[in-house]
Structure 1
Amino acid sequence: MAKQHRALRTRQELIRSASEVFYQVGFADSSINAISSRTGMSNGAVHFHFGNKRALGNAIERAAARNLLCVTGRIPLRHPAPLQHLVDTSHALARCLLNDPVLRAGFGLGTDATWQGDGDLWEQWQDWVQLMLTVARDQGSLAPDVCVEDAVYAVTAVVAGVEVRARRDAAWCSRQAVTRFWRLMLPRLASERVARSLVPEGTTTQAWPPGESGTDDLMPPGNPYDGADCGVA
């Protein structure tokens, strides 16, 4: 058991180290030597656990997908405040993009022209946004003339831009930056019934307590991360 635990910790350390290297210099310009040196391990240790650099990239994508699922959670069909939940989750994602190197690297690989992986964190995020906005529409929280697809593209595009700009200036992932977007977006997005109750700065309380959604959750069809535990932080 102790040996298995050490092996798991070693893999986590290597994934975290590779995440930092990939994010800083890109997949093509990263090296096994740079990754191993960050952890004080030998190149042989990297090859023992992952075989090659591409295997490390795939491991990062899987861990990042689990971490993103931990940020978004499932889609509760009877959420009492779906738009506020979307706002709060976007704030949480922005914080994690600053603090979680694995999640950050996972999104970075998605925009790296030299990387061809099996996963796509941006698609995972877009699917979640679309389902959350669909819940909001079905509950009458969206303005009558709002097209869900248009709103999905807007939210996804802004988060993508924030992630890219934050690589040079962390202020783009700040609460203030995300709040500015929602101050502009919510008056156009929300119905009159809910507009006044929305908080673009995000809320500190859970409108939908964890564990109460039960079977009333909806995930993207065939989502391979359904039920996964949080991965490397």
Structure 2
Amino acid sequence: MVKQERAARTRHALIQAAAAVFAEEGFVTASLSTISRRAGVSNGALHFHFANKSMLADAVEAQAAEVVRGITEAARARQGDSLQAVVDATHELMGALAHDVVVRGGFELAGDCARRGEASLRTQWQSWVEDSFRRAERNGALAEGVSWADSARVIVAATAGFEVLGGGDTSWLSRQNVTRFWEVILPRLAGRRDLERLLSAGSRPSAPASAVERPGL
């Protein structure tokens, strides 16, 4: 049991260290020696858990994907098929990118050309956003003349932009910035029936209760 716990701690430390190094240097430049040194373990211990750098990158992406899946599933469980679920998930995802090194490293790997063809966190996020807007359109939650496909493209492109810019300046990932984005975009996306109930700052208890203003008549 003690050996198993020690092995689990070592594996966790390696994934955390690898995520940080991948986020800082990218997949190609990152070295296993740098990762093992950052994790505080020997190269031999690293190779005991991961045969090569690709397997380590796979582990980072898998753990990051689990976090993102938890974010999107929780948002839908709370808010159903409403646009509020997308707003909430966006806030939570940006927060994870700012504070969770594994999520940050996972998205860095997803955008690395050397990792093309591998499972992508960006694709996972895009699929969820597209599905959410399909559901919103079926429920009549979108503004007249607004399609689910156009809406999803805008949100995916914007969140990818926040992610990339946030890699150099985490203020891009702040709740305030994401709230301002939704304040601008929600009046264009949401039907009048739902707009006044949507919270651009998110519906989580810790979020400021800032509702989106309705557009002028």
Q: Please report the TM-score for the alignment, with normalisation by the length of structure 1.
A: 0.83
Within 2, Cα distance between the matches of 1:68 and 1:177?
A: 20
Instruction: Give the aligned residue type for 1:150.
Output: D
Aligned position for 1:201: 201
Are positions 1:46 and 2:46 aligned together?
A: yes
Q: By how many angstroms is 1:84 displaced?
A: 1.1
1:118 CA displacement? 2.5
* C-alpha distance in structure 1 between counterparts of 2:9 and 2:78, whole Å: 39
Maintained 8 Å contact 1:75/1:128: no
Distance 1:89 1:120 in 2: 18
SS state of the match for residue 58, structure 1?
Answer: helix
Q: Taking CA–CA contacts closer than 8 Å with sequence separation of 6 or more, which of the two structures ends up with the larger relative contact order?
A: 1
Deviations 1:192-215 (A, max 9, x none): 101111111112249xxxxxxxxx
- The answer on whether the counterparts of 1:75 and 1:131 sit within 8 Å (CA) in structure 2 is no
Per-residue CA deviation, residues 96-150 of structure 1 (Å, 9 max, x unaligned), is: 0011111111111111122245211011001111111122112111112111111
Shift of 1:79: 4.5
Q: Which runs of 5+ in 2 are unaligned?
A: 207-217
Q: RMSD across aligned C-alpha pairs, in angstroms?
A: 1.9
Matched ranges for 1:109-120 at <5 A = 109-116=109-116, 118-120=118-120
Unaligned stretches of 5+ in structure 1? 207-233
Distance 1:10 1:88 in 2: 34
How many residues end up aligned between the 2 structures?
206
Aligned to 1:104: 104
**1:114 counterpart SS class:** helix
Contact map agreement 2:32 2:43 (CA 8 A) in 1: yes
Matched, 1:186 2:157: no
Aligned equivalents of 1:2, 1:181: Cα separation in 2: 49
More deviation, 133-142/173-182: 133-142
Change (3 A) 1:76 1:200: closer
CA distance in 2, matches of 1:63, 1:119: 12
Greater percentage in helix: 2
